[in-house]
Structure 1
Amino acid sequence: MNVMHSRQSSQNWFFRYKLYHLPFWFLYHYLWWNVTLGNPIKVFQTIVIPPYALKYSFYVIFQALAVYFNLYFLIPRYLEKSHFARYISYLALTVVCATLCVVSGYYVSSYVSGRTIADLFGQSACFNTFLSNALPSTVASMTLAMSIKLTKNWIQTRQRQQLLEKEKLETELTFLKNQFNPHFLFNTINSIFFLIHKNPDMASASLAKFSDLLRYQLYECNDQQIPLSREIAYLENFIELERLRQNANVEVSVDIVSVLDADYLTIAPFIVLTFVENAFKHVSHHHDQSNWIELKVALQGTKLILHVANSTTTNPVAEAIRHGGIGLKNVRRRLDLLYPDHYELDVENNGDQFQIHLQLWLTEFVYAPVQQRAGFVETNRSV
């Protein structure tokens, strides 16, 4: 057992530090020198013989450093944020620095071996010769690595987009199934029906909310991102209708005032609703104790903070199973797909209460004057 654990640890360490890249780099430079010299045997000998092997290691090490510096620092920090001028400048500087470091390998090899440059690399060998070898090799290695990286990112983006589309369809179908079931429809309609005689104004308002809720689910939530204010408006309608259906001994506390005017932010449809719906679905129904639901929504810049809590039954195991079921798993998966590394979700079950705390970094809208009638223009300014 210990042997197996040790083997797994070594494998994890191997992949964590990307040591599997080393064979690729040695093979790449071996093929490059085959193309340059046209003699595989001679290339292999130059790799094995110590003075030339040292020069070869300079190619491998400094070009690999330049490649990883470009892939994991320059591209995320400048290219992906559309700072093209800075990216090209820093990329050119990186190529120059890596090339000069590679060229220095010729002189270090000469110094370590105690032989002259002409003796090691030929009478015509000079700085310009070394530079003409190192510069194309460096540019080629960085171009190849970028091509592989960008192709990999494109494939992952396509796969992620397909998963998002699938998740969106499944989520919409799930919510439609949950909301348009006879239990929901008949209870809500019956509640409004009794209000018609008791409080006509409230019945009229409730019927309008019910109509808006159905319209939202059918027509307005087909986009991947919608204005946060629209989602909050839908959430309010949902809560008001659920209040009609709940018993009088369920106290519902809502605080979302600070988010009502958030037209400049977008959110994926039904992200917030899942947690609120679970609270209404699993709230306790004690006759001798308080039953309550608490909802707080706040904004800090572009960060949405959601806190949902509700009283639960005295059977924490059964409640945990229900709360930890398909609904929360689905919303976690949607968060992973829609907001990777841009959310924090904490779920707690304390036996007599269940609560979630979500922090979600949203995307801003910028309203273009020319397109105000048509709608809005989205800019990727997510934190």
Structure 2
Amino acid sequence: MRTAISKLYHIPFWLAYHYLWWVVAMGNPWKAAHSILFSPYAVKFVFYVVLQAVAVYFNLYYLIPKYLEKGRLKAYLGYLSVTLLAAALAIVSGYYVSALLAHQSVEVLFGRDSNCFFYFFGEAMPSTLASTTLAMSIKLTKNWISTERRKQLLEKEKLETELRFLKYQFNPHFLFNSINSIFFLIHKNPDAASSSLAKFSELLRHHLYECNDELVPLDKEIAYLRNFIALEKLRQNRSVSVITDILEELPADAYIAPFILMTFVENAFKHVSKDSDRENRIEIRLYAQPDTLEFEVSNTTSALTTKQAPHYRGIGLRNVQRRLALIYPGKHQLAIRDAGGTFEVRLSLILAAQPVSRPAQLTL
């Protein structure tokens, strides 16, 4: 209903469009207006306006999304031809309705001796084709402008995101705590220290080389996520239980925007409760299919972390919601719930299946 109301401004456009055609045909704007308003030709005019608008919107909002945008060109052209033919034939009937209401024959009313049907069809079909072509041109131009604006916003958002994550991720607190945790493991468990150091190296590599594109392979982003969780476990108090359920076999050709998932995982580790009189828990679950991803993160919270959380939620969540809106418009669902003691995030999005161009990587 809201969409239909938002298109009401199209009515003056179609009226003006057809009126201009009549002005061109008659060579006089006053004569054209009089013919439309005060003659039997008004019925024919209404048929042109209404039926061509129906054909145009049927093409724009049904045929193009259902067939053309999905690469079904032959089916689209076939259905479009049928639509144009049906609209033109329906418009031809307007000539006969005009004559009927005027109590005249079509030959007399429109000044034709014979072959009226083919003459009428010869006027209706080109006019309908022209209206459809004009509407498609306007629609494609609007889509192109919208795409260009979205690209500009994405470029700006990408730069801001890269700067924000360089500042936020590579902070001394995170680096020194991770290094100190590995240092203590060297004496207690050299094998675990070696494994943790490898994870730390992979995490830094991902930051420096593998997350510079708009989209990155899903398996690499999840590998980075695993390494981050493993390092955070070293830093956490023993009273915090970390439960992960991440699908081992991931789609090989799926791509995702970098750091979308990390925002929520970092938040969980940052704001998890550390109470001594109850279980403190972080749960991370991820399931992926070739074209969809389901991601859930929850953590227990305490009164102190709940007071500190609004600052993060006001900035961090706005940032990630903005990135999701720009990169996955209409292709994601994000639900965030503070259940009084538990903070939960659920994200569902449609994964990209095509890789993006990658610049050559630098080596140190």
- Superposition TM-score, scaled by structure 2 size: 0.93
CA offsets 1:284-326 (integer angstroms, 9 cap, x no match): 1212222110001113552211110001012586255145221
Match of 1:37 in 2: 26
RMSD of Structure 2 on Structure 1 (CA): 2.1
| 1:136-215 → structure 2 map (5 Å cutoff) | 136-215=126-205
3-state SS of 1:324 partner = helix
- Superposition TM-score, scaled by structure 1 size: 0.88
State the 1:216 CA deviation: 0.4
CA contact (8 A) 2:215 2:258 kept: yes
3-state SS of 1:148 partner = helix
Q: Which runs of 5+ in 1 are unaligned?
A: 1-11, 367-374, 378-383
CA offsets 1:313-364 (integer angstroms, 9 cap, x no match): 1258625514522111111111111112211111110111100111112133
State the 1:151 CA deviation: 0.3
Match of 2:245 in 1: 255
Count of aligned positions: 357
Greater RCO, CA 8 A, separation 6+:
2
3-state SS of 2:40 partner = helix
Verify: 1:303 aligned to 2:286, yes or no. Answer: no
3-state SS of 2:303 partner = coil
CA contact (8 A) 2:250 2:289 kept: no
3-state SS of 2:244 partner = strand
3-state SS of 2:200 partner = helix
Match of 2:227 in 1: 237
Verify: 1:58 aligned to 2:47, yes or no. Answer: yes
| 1:1-383 → structure 2 map (5 Å cutoff) | 16-124=5-113, 126-256=116-246, 258-300=247-289, 302-314=291-303, 318=307, 321-364=310-353
Identify if the C-alpha distance between structure 1 residues 340 and 128 changes in structure 2 by more than 3 Å, giving closer, same or farther.
same
Cα distance in 1 for partners of 2:211, 2:2 equals 45
Deviates more, 1:160-169 or 1:348-357: 160-169
Q: Which amino acid aligns with 1:220?
A: E
Cα distance in 2 for partners of 1:259, 1:33 equals 67
Q: Which amino acid aligns with 2:349?
A: L
CA contact (8 A) 2:36 2:42 kept: yes
CA contact (8 A) 1:313 1:319 kept: no
Cα distance in 2 for partners of 1:25, 1:36 equals 17
Cα distance in 2 for partners of 1:229, 1:298 equals 12
Cα distance in 2 for partners of 1:309, 1:142 equals 51
3-state SS of 2:353 partner = strand
CA contact (8 A) 1:225 1:269 kept: yes
CA offsets 1:50-76 (integer angstroms, 9 cap, x no match): 421111000000000000000000111
3-state SS of 2:7 partner = coil
3-state SS of 1:363 partner = coil
